[in-house]
């Protein structure tokens, strides 16, 4: 026995070109929608991961234009604003603080990098406090340095690969010609740590000729009032406070503006696709008026005709949506690369996260909206008057 699904399928593909074009519209709108929703989810997950990988939730640094500081550091390691290390002790007394770590970022000019020289950056960290901030870091070989004045370094995975270093090898700090021994190489983390060269704090201070630091990382106790701590930190003279919650909110706020615009475009694409569906089915109904009339004369009820036409809509939307989702999954990496080219900052890791729930939700939305758009043609088909249509033949 021929099923309703089979008849609907056969009817749809009588006009192959028209059906395929409609299907392409649905595929594209489904692809765009699921990719956007996946980006929405993936971006936030990746941003959270980046922030968690920092190991601390609040950063304190000297007040001053950060843009200028970043630029100057990248251009030659000079002009950075420093803070007294005694500040670490003062802040650590606050009840909200679980752990605290001083950091010194320093850059030196290397004349033998490229045609006109380049910058080599180093990250001075305290042996006793910094590893505790990042317990998730694993070593490919070796381990952390134990003394703050040891002439040693720990290298991120990519830094070690670029410098072709193994545990036991030496590196030379340019400009200062100080030799440091590699004692540990980290496993790949997919974060900024991969490209970092960690140096014991006092060693880097000695090399740079300073007893100060550039940054303080603060880990807050669970359940502690972060806002209260931030308020206290804001009162410190000439200090700037950066909370990663604030950073996250700001980035998400900026992204959300773009997101609303793009989602609106996706919404319009869905509407256009669904108008296409309604048009295709309606045309099909008009072309088959006589057939529908004969079916009715043979005893088919309006409900039967309605269901038959609605099934055609269902096939179009379900098929198009499924193909669109599969394409979005297959090309998620390409979407990722495109987004990375467009946005000035993107977190590490995958940006488009499409899981089963999201795929099913998108499928459901497309099919539901599609079925809605198929209501009118199906109703129209159900109302065809058999005698009138046969006479018109």
Partner 1 sequence: MKKYFKVITIFLFFFGLPEAFAAIGCDLNDPVRDVARLFPGSSGYKMRYASITELGGEPLLKKIKERLGGNSKVLFAPIDVPYTIYEVYNGSTKLGYIHGVNQKGQYGGTQVFIIQNLNGTIRNFYIQKISGPAAAKFRSPAFGIQFIGMSVKDFGGMDASTCKGKGRITKVVNPAPEAEADFMGIMRGLKKNLILMDEFVFSAGAKK
- Taking the least distance from each CB to partner 1, the nearer of 32 and 59 is 59
Segment interacting with partner 1, rule: CB under 8 A, options 28-36, 84-92, 119-127, 359-367: 119-127
State the pairing for strand pair 170-173/215-220. Answer: unpaired
Shortest distance in whole angstroms from residue 249 CB to partner 1: 9
**SS3 (DSSP) at 29:** helix
- Taking the least distance from each CB to partner 1, the nearer of 19 and 189 is 189
CA angle 14, 17, 19 (to 5 degrees): 65
Pick the closest to residue 93 from 213, 227, 201, 229 (CA basis): 229
Q: Evaluate whether 157 touches 188 at the Cβ level (below 8 Å).
A: yes
Pick the closest to residue 383 from 300, 327, 313, 273 (CA basis): 300
- Taking the least distance from each CB to partner 1, the nearer of 343 and 375 is 343
Burial 119-133 (b: 16+ CB within 10 A, else e): ebebbbbbbebbbeb
Shortest distance in whole angstroms from residue 35 CB to partner 1: 24
Tell me how far apart the alpha carbons of residues 251 and 202 are, in angstroms, rounded to a whole number. Answer: 34
State the pairing for strand pair 197-200/118-125. Answer: parallel
Shortest distance in whole angstroms from residue 131 CB to partner 1: 18
- Taking the least distance from each CB to partner 1, the nearer of 80 and 381 is 80
Considering only residues 258 through 287, tell me which ones interact with partner 1, judged by CB under 8 A: none
- Taking the least distance from each CB to partner 1, the nearer of 71 and 388 is 71
Considering only residues 63 through 92, tell me which ones interact with partner 1, judged by CB under 8 A: 66-67, 69-70, 73-74
Shortest distance in whole angstroms from residue 350 CB to partner 1: 17
- Taking the least distance from each CB to partner 1, the nearer of 120 and 125 is 120
Q: Evaluate whether 58 touches 233 at the Cβ level (below 8 Å).
A: yes
- Taking the least distance from each CB to partner 1, the nearer of 186 and 322 is 186
Tell me how far apart the alpha carbons of residues 246 and 256 are, in angstroms, rounded to a whole number. Answer: 15
- Taking the least distance from each CB to partner 1, the nearer of 109 and 267 is 109
Spell out the SS3 assignment of 207-250. Answer: HHCCCCECEEEEEECCCCCHHHHHHHHHCCCCEEEEEHHHHHHH
Q: Evaluate whether 154 touches 18 at the Cβ level (below 8 Å).
A: no
Residue 250 makes contact with partner 1 by CB under 8 A: yes
Residues paired with 52 in a beta bridge: none
Considering only residues 148 through 177, tell me which ones interact with partner 1, judged by CB under 8 A: 156, 158-159, 161-165, 170-172, 174, 177
Pick the closest to residue 152 from 169, 139, 129, 135 (CA basis): 169
Work out which of 148, 193, 230, 336 binds partner 1, going by CB under 8 A: 193
Residues paired with 141 in a beta bridge: 185
Binding mask 30-49 for partner 1 (x = CB under 8 A): --------------------
Residue 96 makes contact with partner 1 by CB under 8 A: no
Tell me how far apart the alpha carbons of residues 238 and 267 are, in angstroms, rounded to a whole number. Answer: 48
Q: Evaluate whether 123 touches 197 at the Cβ level (below 8 Å).
A: yes
Shortest distance in whole angstroms from residue 77 CB to partner 1: 11
Shortest distance in whole angstroms from residue 156 CB to partner 1: 7
- Judged by CB under 8 A, how many residues of this single chain contact partner 1? 53
Which residue bears the tokens 């795929």? 359
Shortest distance in whole angstroms from residue 94 CB to partner 1: 21
State the pairing for strand pair 215-220/152-155. Answer: unpaired
Segment interacting with partner 1, rule: CB under 8 A, options 194-202, 285-293, 318-326, 377-385: 194-202
As to burial, measured by CB atoms within 10 angstroms (0-12 exposed, 13-18 middle, 19+ buried), residue 258 is exposed
Shortest distance in whole angstroms from residue 86 CB to partner 1: 23
Shortest distance in whole angstroms from residue 354 CB to partner 1: 25
Binding mask 304-343 for partner 1 (x = CB under 8 A): ----------------------------------------
Footprint on this chain of partner 1 (rule: CB under 8 A)? 50, 54, 59, 61, 66-67, 69-70, 73-74, 105, 110-115, 118-121, 156, 158-159, 161-165, 170-172, 174, 177, 179, 192-197, 215, 240, 242, 246-247, 250-251, 253-254, 344-345, 347
């Amino acid at each position: 026995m021929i099923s309703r699904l089979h008849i609907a399928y056969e009817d749809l593909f009588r006009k192959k070109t028209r059906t395929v074009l409609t299907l392409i519209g649905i595929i594209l709108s489904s692809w765009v929608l699921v990719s956007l929703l996946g980006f929405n989810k993936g971006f936030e997950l990746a941003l959270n991961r980046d922030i968690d990988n920092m190991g601390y939730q609040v950063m304190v640094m000297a007040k001053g234009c950060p843009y200028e500081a970043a630029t100057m550091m990248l251009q030659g390691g000079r002009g950075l604003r420093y803070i007294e290390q005694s500040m670490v002790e003062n802040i650590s007394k606050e009840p909200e603080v679980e752990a605290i770590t001083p950091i010194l970022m320093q850059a030196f000019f290397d004349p033998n990098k490229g045609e006109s020289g380049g910058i080599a950056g180093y990250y001075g960290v305290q042996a006793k406090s910094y590893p505790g901030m990042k317990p998730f870091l694993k070593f490919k070989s070796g381990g952390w340095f134990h003394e703050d004045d040891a002439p040693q370094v720990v290298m991120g995975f990519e830094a070690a690969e670029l410098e072709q270093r193994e545990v036991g090898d030496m590196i030379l700090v340019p400009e200062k010609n100080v030799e440091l021994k590699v004692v540990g190489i980290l496993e790949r983390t997919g974060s900024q740590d991969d490209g970092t060269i960690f140096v014991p704090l006092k060693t880097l201070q000695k090399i740079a000729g300073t007893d100060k630091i550039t940054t303080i990382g603060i880990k807050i106790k669970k359940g502690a009032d972060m806002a209260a701590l931030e308020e206290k930190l804001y009162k410190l003279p000439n200090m700037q406070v950066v909370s990663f919650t604030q950073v996250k909110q700001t980035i998400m706020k900026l992204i959300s503006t773009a997101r609303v615009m793009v989602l609106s475009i996706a919404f319009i694409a869905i509407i256009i696709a669904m108008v296409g569906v309604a048009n295709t089915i309606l045309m099909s109904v008009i072309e088959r008026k006589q057939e529908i009339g004969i079916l009715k004369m043979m005893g088919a009820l309006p409900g039967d005709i309605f269901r038959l036409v609605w099934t055609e809509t269902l096939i179009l939307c379900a098929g198009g949506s499924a193909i669109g989702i599969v394409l979005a999954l297959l090309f998620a990496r390409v979407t990722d690369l495109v987004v990375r080219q467009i946005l000035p900052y993107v977190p590490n890791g995958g940006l488009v996260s499409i899981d089963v729930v999201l795929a099913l939700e998108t499928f459901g939305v497309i099919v539901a909206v599609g079925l809605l758009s198929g209501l009118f043609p199906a109703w129209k088909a159900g109302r065809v008057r058999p005698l009138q249509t046969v006479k018109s033949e």
